């Protein structure tokens, strides 16, 4: 299931689209609108726009790449467009595989690549009434470094 939607996303329905009795591991990522931007400004919500044909084609390419890297993995990616408020789900990525390691790896790969490459744009709306279009790529963190101290 690859789709761009205007209505709220049901994560359980996205999971159901990739689950099978052959899959022992199912990993779901929910991207949720939060109250602070990456630079610490308070937001009231986000607006997303997409060039749907291009974004969906990229979802398919990303899924093929994930299968090349992680084997027999079933993937679903659904991104919402329009105006979203804090707490709403903006994106759902689900990876299902026989083994959890492949499902975790494929899910992380898919969301990271979706954010970096898909034709989807995000505007942040700030509490002061201003707004700004922002890169839809997420910041990466060195989790080993963060947990080492």
Q: Is 100 in a helix, a strand, or coil?
A: helix
> Per residue in 112-143, pLDDT tens?
999 999 999 999 999 999 999 997 765 544 43
Token pair for residue 123?
A: 């505007």
Specify burial of residue 62 (Cβ count, 10 A radius: 0-12, 13-18, 19+): buried
Is the distance from CB of 11 to CB of 92 less than 8 angstroms?
A: yes
Instruction: In whole angstroms, give the CA distance from residue 63 to residue 102.
Output: 13
Domains of the chain: 2-135 (3.90.1170.40)
> Per residue in 89-108, pLDDT tens?
999 999 999 999 999 999 99
> Per residue in 18-77, pLDDT tens?
999 999 999 999 999 999 999 999 999 999 999 999 999 999 999 999 999 999 999 999
The structure's pTM equals: 0.90
- At 135 the pLDDT is 78
Q: Check pLDDT > 70 for residue 145.
A: no
């Amino acid at each position: 299931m690859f789709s761009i939607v205007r209505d709220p996303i049901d994560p359980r329905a996205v999971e159901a689209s990739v689950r099978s009795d052959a899959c022992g591991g199912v990993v779901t990522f929910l991207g949720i609108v939060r109250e602070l931007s990456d630079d610490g400004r308070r937001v009231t919500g986000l607006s997303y726009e997409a060039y749907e044909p291009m974004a969906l084609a990229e979802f398919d390419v990303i899924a093929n790449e994930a299968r090349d890297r992680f084997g027999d993995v079933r993937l679903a990616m659904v991104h919402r467009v329009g105006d979203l408020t804090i707490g709403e789900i903006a994106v759902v990525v689900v990876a299902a595989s026989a083994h959890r390691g492949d499902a975790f790896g494929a899910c992380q790969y898919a969301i990271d690549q979706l954010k970096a490459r898909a034709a989807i744009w995000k505007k942040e709306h700030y509490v002061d009434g201003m707004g700004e279009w922002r890169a839809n790529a997420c910041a990466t963190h060195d989790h080993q470094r963060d947990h080492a101290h």
